[in-house]
Amino acid sequence: MEIGKPQIGVLAVQGAFIEHERILKSLGAEVFEIRQLRDLDRHLDGLVLPGGESTVQGKLLRDLGLFEPLRKKIAEGLPVLATCAGAILLAEKIAGESRTHFATLPAIIRRNAYGRQLGSFFTENEVAHVGIVPQTFIRAPFFESVGNEVEVLSRTASSNTTDAPERIVAVRFRNQIALSFHPELNSDTSIHRYFLGLAER
C-alpha cells in the first residue's frame, strides 16, 4: 500500500463495478473489490456501492456475511458513493415495499421509478458542489422525499417527454452520496473526484 493513496473498496457482488474501479484508479486511488467477508480485513477510506440489481446485491450481501459489517461501517461515517442500486441499498425506506437494506440514509426511494427499459434516459444537469455532469438513468429510481438533514444535490426531469417533472436524483447525508444515475458510465470524473475528496479527509 502506498502512503497517501485513498483505499477504496468497491462492492463487487453483482453489477457494474469495474466501471467505477477504472475511474477511481485513473484518479489515483487504490481500489480493491469486496466479494466476501475476508475482503474487509484491510483498511477502508471509502466504499462504492455500484449499480446492478438491488434485490440481487441485497441477497448476496446477506448470504456472504457482508451485510452487518458494512452497515456498521456506513453508520459510523465511512464515506460512501452509491449509484442506482447502491442508493436503494442505503435508503431508509423503499416505496411500496416492506424490505430495506442498510437503511442508513433518511430518504424514501422508489425503484424503477421511470418505468421499464423504455423509460431509461440520458441528460446533463447540475449537481451541487460538482457542476454540470452527464446523467445516465437505467431503469432508475428517484427519491420521493428526504429527511431534514439530507442535502439535495440535483433535481432532474426525464428527457423522454417534454413535460416530465423534476425529481430528486442526487443527495448527500453526512458522508453518504447517493445518486439515481450512473456517473461511472461516462468519461466525466467530477463526481468521483468529489467522493474522493470525502474519502481523503
Partner 1 sequence: MSEQNRYELNKNLAQMLKGGVIMDVTTPEQAKIAEAAGAAAVMALERIPADIRAAGGVSRMSDPKMIKGIQDAVSIPVMAKCRIGHFAEAQILQAIEIDYIDESEVLSPADDIFHINKREFDVPFVCGAKDLGEALRRIEEGASMIRTKGEPGTGDIVQAVRHMRLMNQEIARISSLREDELFNRAKELQVSYDLVRFVHDNKKLPVVNFAAGGVATPADAALMMQLGAEGVFVGSGIFKSGNPAKRAAAIVQAVTNYTDAKLIAKLSEDLGEAMVGINEQEIALLMAERGK
Are 12 and 33 in contact by the 8 Å Cβ rule? The answer is yes
- The x, y and z cell numbers of residue 64, run together, are 456472504
Please, what is the minimum distance in Å from the beta carbon of residue 162 to partner 1? 12
Instruction: State the sign of the Cα–Cα–Cα–Cα dihedral 53, 54, 55, 58.
Output: positive
If the CB atoms of residues 83 and 104 are measured against partner 1, the closer one turns out to be: 83
121 binds partner 1 (CB under 8 A): yes
- Helix 54-63 vs helix 67-75: crossing angle, to nearest 10: 110
Please, what is the minimum distance in Å from the beta carbon of residue 52 to partner 1? 5
Among 111, 167, 172, 192, binds partner 1 (CB under 8 A): 111
Say how far residue 33 (Cα) sits from the centre of its chain: 15
**Using CA atoms, how far apart are residues 105 and 171, in angstroms rounded to an integer?**
9
Are 77 and 175 in contact by the 8 Å Cβ rule? The answer is yes
- Interaction with partner 1 in 55-94: which residues (CB under 8 A)? 55-56, 59-60, 63-64, 84-85
132 binds partner 1 (CB under 8 A): no
108 binds partner 1 (CB under 8 A): no
If the CB atoms of residues 78 and 140 are measured against partner 1, the closer one turns out to be: 140
Neighbours of 47 (CB within 10 A): 23
- Interaction with partner 1 in 139-168: which residues (CB under 8 A)? 139, 159-160
37 binds partner 1 (CB under 8 A): no
**From 20, 84, 101, 192, the catalytic residue:** 84
**From 20, 101, 182, 192, the catalytic residue:** 182
Collect all residues with Cβ–Cβ distance below 8 Å to 148 and sequence separation of at least 6. Answer: 106
Neighbours of 59 (CB within 10 A): 15
Residues lying near partner 1 in the complex (CB under 8 A) are found at: 12-19, 35-36, 51-53, 55-56, 59-60, 63-64, 84-85, 111-112, 115-118, 120-122, 136, 138-139, 159-160, 182, 185
The catalytic residues are 84, 182, 184
